[in-house]
Amino acid sequence: MTTPPTTTGPAPARPARTERPARPERPAGDRPVRGDRPARPASRPHGQWKVDGTEPLNANEQWKQEDGGLAVRERIERIYADGGFASIDPTDLHGRFRWWGLYTQRKPGIDGGRTATLEPHELEDEYFMLRVRIDGGQLTTEQLRVIGGISTEFGRDTADLTDRQNIQLHWIRVEDVPEIWRRLEAVGLGTTEACGDVPRVVLGSPVAGIAADELIDPTPQIDEITSRFIGDESLANLPRKFKSALTGHPSQDVVHEINDVAFVAVEHPELGVGYDLWVGGGLSTAPRLAERLGVFVAPERVAEAWHGVAQIFRDYGYRRLRNKARLKFLLADWGVAKFREVLETEYLDAPLPDGPAAPTPTTPGDHVGVHRQKDGRFYVGATPIVGRVSGPILTRLADLVEAHGSTRLRTTPHQKVVILDIPEDRVESLIAGLDELGLSARPSLIRRGTIACTGIEFCKLAIVETKAYATAAVLELEERLAGFDLPHPISLHVNGCPNSCARIQTADIGLKGQLIMDDSGEQVPGYQVHLGGGLASLDRDEAGLGRTVRGLKVTADGIADYVERVVTRFLAERDGAADESF
Ligand code: SF4
């Protein structure tokens, strides 16, 4: 530090004031610069690489630049798997591990009231959650059996189907991670960029290539994106996560409105079948639905367009504040017209033609039930309760599917599973076998519409348990609502904290975990209620975000009572139209 010069002697006399002519008005950006100092920027930089330069503006950005997340794999294999949990560098543990689908899980027994008061290391266990990436949700029975085996051997039989088509395991030790990777990669699976500030799993229509009413099979486009860009260092340091979705099915079955980039099949009157490009969706902080760019993307240009949007996010995305670092904030500031112009002029080989919007879906996108394929065989969609399965269930499911003449299945963005290629005369036998595994192809509408995030059982950010409470509520409601004629599934989405891993703002009833006061003034686990959200579907023309109702909260063990009240009131007051929105 330098010492300022001291002054001695009397202060110089101040010059007499003289009258000056009024200064002419100047535009704000044209102000004169005082002395040789550069002009102070109007506001603090957002950390946009192309605008502000790549100087890191926070600790996250610094370590990402110094040594990227992908680099940690070599250390896991060479050092940490031998040295165990205690040998892991903290920046690797809390940062770079995510690039390989690894998060530390919550230490058992820490209640939600302490989530905000404890340091992260006090909340975390020495075990990991491991997310297996399943792009497009496409699985073979061989792959499923490997995941089931890993769950049983290394993950205490835990397994959850997530609402992003992944399968998540728990209780994983770092010592076992290299062997787990070896087994996954031997069957074409992996955990590369399953978490972290990277392009996450690419959602794809669960019925790609098989549905009789499909407009186009997006599998070649998904394959091109994942083979060219997943694990690519040039996209391995994005401002934050980057979520993608592609569908060729008219049910628009990939929740495209809440992804950073999404391609939805559409028929152009002159150009044939291609995709409608959406950008900038996302929930959690400042939830925002994606917007159409109004362009038509031919199938052969999907990877180029996807890459362009990803590069815009990398180069112009906000990096200074992590809670402003999603693409939706850039889109909100730029608007659709500027976003399209930058995409076309700076990133694409040629402009994209204008394109029409895809029609509103007229069939549900969860694919539950029995459906005819284009080749005459059938696909069967089945649901566990809130995505919870187990290693043995996955292994037995692989056996069951093979025993019915198939080797293919899909995970869905609704925590469900779809079994493909079943001959007509084996469908009922398959359904009976699925029931024995707790996977229902003819579920109640409440079971079908309920999803839940990981919650306090394993998540360090959670305030409230989710899957257990939601499961209890589903079982209770199946009894209580058995005699009612519900017009369509009721979407009940349950989150364990203010984040939105279970998409609470897009549900008929969304529950956001928090501690609340019960009737006797005791602080208990509960939820803030969001009502009236939903994505475009057969009972609503367009997506809309649910809203909180001031003061409307429900205790964790009061979910069934609350939902029953809402449903019975809806049924009593609806005007009789079977497709009236819940
Ligand atoms: Fe964890 Fe919250 Fe996400 Fe649930 S919503 S998984 S509690 S971060």
Q: What is the DSSP string of 522-568?
A: -EEEEEEEEES-B-SBTTBSS-B--EEEEEEEEEGGGHHHHHHHHHH
Average pLDDT, the chain: 91
What pLDDT is attached to residue 45? 93
In tens, the pLDDT along 208-225 reads 999 999 999 999 999 999
Whether the predicted pLDDT of 68 surpasses 70: yes
Please tell me whether residue 209 adopts helix, strand or coil conformation.
coil
What pLDDT is attached to residue 575? 62
User: How many Å apart are CA 504 and CA 512, to the nearest integer?
Assistant: 7
User: How many Å apart are CA 454 and CA 468, to the nearest integer?
Assistant: 10
Give me the residues paired with residue 514 across strands: 526
Q: Is any ligand 1 atom within 6 A of the Cβ of residue 123?
A: no
User: How many Å apart are CA 580 and CA 125, to the nearest integer?
Assistant: 47
Q: What is the CA(496)–ligand 1 centre distance, in A?
A: 5
In the numeric block, the tokens 């639905």 are attached to 289
Terminal alpha carbon distance of the chain: 66
Whether the predicted pLDDT of 278 surpasses 70: yes
Determine which of 98-112, 366-380, 547-561 has the lowest per-residue pLDDT on average. Answer: 547-561
User: How many Å apart are CA 279 and CA 292, to the nearest integer?
Assistant: 7
Whether the predicted pLDDT of 55 surpasses 80: yes
The one-letter code for the residue type at 574 is R
User: How many Å apart are CA 231 and CA 181, to the nearest integer?
Assistant: 15
Degrees, nearest 5: CA angle 114-120-125: 90
Q: What is the CA(459)–ligand 1 centre distance, in A?
A: 6
User: Backbone dihedral region of 369: left (phi > 0), alpha (psi from -120 to 50 degrees) or beta?
Assistant: left
What pLDDT is attached to residue 7? 32
Among 461, 463, 466, 500, the mutation site with the greatest number of ligand 1 atoms within 8 A of its Cβ is 461
Degrees, nearest 5: CA angle 330-71-285: 30
What average pLDDT does the segment 362-391 reach? 96
Q: What is the CA(164)–ligand 1 centre distance, in A?
A: 14
DSSP code at position 189: -
Question: Looking at per-residue confidence, does 352 or 42 come out higher?
Answer: 352
Nearest to 476 by CA among 446, 496, 453, 503: 446
Give me the residues paired with residue 526 across strands: 514, 555
User: How many Å apart are CA 136 and CA 130, to the nearest integer?
Assistant: 18
User: How many Å apart are CA 193 and CA 231, to the nearest integer?
Assistant: 7
What pLDDT is attached to residue 31? 36
User: Residue 13: is it exposed, middle or buried by C-beta count within 10 angstroms (0-12/13-18/19+)?
Assistant: exposed
What pLDDT is attached to residue 572? 85
Determine which of 140-144, 417-421, 478-482 has the lowest per-residue pLDDT on average. Answer: 478-482
Beta carbons of 298 and 274 less than 8 angstroms apart: yes
In 71-165 the beta strands, taken as DSSP E runs, fall at 102-106, 124-132, 138-140, 158-161
User: Residue 214: is it exposed, middle or buried by C-beta count within 10 angstroms (0-12/13-18/19+)?
Assistant: buried
User: How many Å apart are CA 474 and CA 118, to the nearest integer?
Assistant: 33
Residues contacting residue 445 through CB under 8 Å, at least 6 positions apart: 486, 488, 489, 490
Q: Which two tokens stand for residue 272?
A: 């044939």
Give me the residues paired with residue 494 across strands: 452, 511
What average pLDDT does the segment 37-63 reach? 85
Q: Which two tokens stand for residue 73?
A: 């794999």
Nearest to 135 by CA among 410, 419, 414, 327: 410
In 269-343 the beta strands, taken as DSSP E runs, fall at 272-279, 291-297
The one-letter code for the residue type at 50 is K
CB atoms under 10 Å from CB of 270, counted, come to 6
Among 110, 131, 453, 506, the mutation site with the greatest number of ligand 1 atoms within 8 A of its Cβ is 453
* Closest ligand 1 atom number to CA of residue 513: 7
Among 104, 111, 129, 454, the mutation site with the greatest number of ligand 1 atoms within 8 A of its Cβ is 454
Report pTM: 0.90
What average pLDDT does the segment 548-577 reach? 87
User: How many Å apart are CA 260 and CA 198, to the nearest integer?
Assistant: 12
Q: Which two tokens stand for residue 563?
A: 């939902």
User: How many Å apart are CA 448 and CA 481, to the nearest integer?
Assistant: 14
Q: Is any ligand 1 atom within 6 A of the Cβ of residue 284?
A: no
User: How many Å apart are CA 173 and CA 150, to the nearest integer?
Assistant: 12
What average pLDDT does the segment 566-578 reach? 77
DSSP code at position 344: I
User: How many Å apart are CA 476 and CA 471, to the nearest integer?
Assistant: 9
DSSP code at position 43: S
ipTM above 0.85, yes or no: yes
